[in-house]
Amino acid sequence: MSILGLKKKQPKTFKVKVITMDAEMEFSCEVKWKGKDLFDLVCRTVGLRETWFFGLRYTVKDTYAWLKPEKRVLDQEVPKDSPITFHFLAKFFPEKVEEELVQEITQHLFFLQVKKQILDEEIFCSPEASVLLASYAVQAKYGDYDPNFHKPGFLAQDELLPKRVLMQYQMTADMWEEKITAWYAEHRGIARDEAEMEYLKIAQDLEMYGVSYFAITQNKRDTDLLLGVDAQGLHIYSPSSKLNPNRSFPWSDIRNISYSEKEFTIKPLDKKKDVFKFYSSQLRVNKLILQLCIGNHDLFMRRRKVDSIEVQQMKAQAKEEKARKKMERQILAREKQMREEAERAKEEMERRLFQLQDEARLANEALLRSEETADLLAEKAQIAEEEAKLLAHKAAEAEQERQRLEVTAMKTKEEKRLMEQKMREAEQLAVKLVEQSERRLKEADHLKQDLTEAKDAERRAKQKLLEITKTTYPANFMLIRGGYSSSRLDFKDSDMKRLSMEIERERLEYMEKSKNLQDQLKELKSEIESLKLEEQQQQAGLYIHHECTFLHTDFLCLVLQRNSAYMSQMAFFEEV
């Protein structure tokens, strides 16, 4: 067996993991691929055409490096991990983002990278600018502000401000959110790409934007300095301040840049000016500085030339794309406005529908009540009709009763006339009885007076006789008294008998007449009672009943008074 057969078979591919600002991708690369092959694959995958701004960065020990396009990937100092990790980042920054960044994807990648550098405090930003940038970031992420949708606390999970800014002021997260939302509400109508572009336009004015810093020392004095490389040139800073450079070398003033080992030389275009030399800690850092200087200088010179055909086409396409998107946004805005109006109209119609439904419900309830009322009224009408029929029947009966009462009234009138006649006769009879009673009373009074006079005469005679007897004729007193008394008694007895007979005869006559009157009164009472029973509910009958009753009562009272008076007189005479 040969030694070659014992060697392991080398793999033809290797795994690569590329991390962009918003995604991670894995590729299977051939061993012979150069850095340009992998870079082009990533750009095609992302859809990026402005490739001159970007590069693939990897970590080497305690620093970083950019993948060189002309060398094979595996021949460079890439990590030996599997998969090999690269970061797809912006290597060079434009001077004016609005003019140089053409594609929307390019703007988006720059926006994400600059935003991360600001939040990581790699780029210094004041609190005011941080709040404004955060409002544009929120606009790019959430679109137009809607108070009904974006409730308080909707930014709680978003990292929008550097920690340095948050620690600088004693403000709560809700207070920061309120400030950001106040600016965010004013960005209404700005699309995502426009919001990102506004973010970059503010960020490009920051002092540390697009600057790559390296630690250097100046020759012979070993003073620590910082070298800054950006799109405009080289800058020398003191370690304590990265904002204001101590010295700057614009690309237009630099004639040549070179390095030898750790020494780096900047030759000004003006030969009268001194050459600036500095030292870096590693050779790898000098290579990186030189690489960044060459790339930034090339882009600096490129900006001052006429755009290439490719760039002109890209700008034309981008312009058309922006015009198309602007038109689409306008159409979308109109559609959105129309939809909002339609929704408002719908809400109004729904409100009106609910109102009409309520009105219809109330109308139905009113209709039901009306129907119930109508049924009730119909029932009442039926009852009223029945009552009307009953009343008509009763009216007919009342009419018959009226006719009968008229006939009865006619009979009653005749009976009343006869009754009145009888009453008049009874009154006449009563008057006669009263007159006789008065006459008898007068006679009784006369008799009583005569009797009283006779008693008085008798008493006087007795007194006189007694006086005479005592004085003149004492012997014959008893004889005379006896004879006189006998004659006087005879006279008294004969007169009293005669008077008693007359009184008895008159009493018998009066009793006979009273009995006849009582019989007549009883007959009249029975007739009145029969009329009362027959005509109890008739007015004429009631009137006659009351009138006859009153007359009968008065008459009976009068007769009884007269009778009692007469009977008392008779009793007096009987006593006498």
Which residues does the annotation place in the binding site? 68-71, 287
Between CA 176 and CA 367 the distance in angstroms is 60
HEC assignment per residue over 83-149: CEEEEEEECCCCCCHHHHCCCHHHHHHHHHHHHHHHHCCCCCCCHHHHHHHHHHHHHHHHCCCCCCC
Q: Give the residues across from 361 on adjacent strands.
A: none
Q: Give the residues across from 63 on adjacent strands.
A: 60
Diameter of the chain by CA atoms?
232
Between CA 513 and CA 433 the distance in angstroms is 9
Between CA 473 and CA 282 the distance in angstroms is 213
Between CA 378 and CA 371 the distance in angstroms is 10
Reduce the DSSP state of residue 54 to 3 states and report it.
strand
Comparing CA positions, the residue from 296, 260, 293, 294 lying closest to residue 279 is 260
Tokens at 257, concatenated: 């840049």
**β-strands 84-90, 212-218: how paired?**
unpaired
Reduce the DSSP state of residue 74 to 3 states and report it.
coil
User: Which residues contact residue 152 at a Cβ distance below 8 angstroms, ignoring those fewer than 6 apart?
Assistant: 174, 177
Helices (H) and strands (E) in the chain, counts: 12, 12
Comparing CA positions, the residue from 435, 429, 576, 452 lying closest to residue 514 is 429
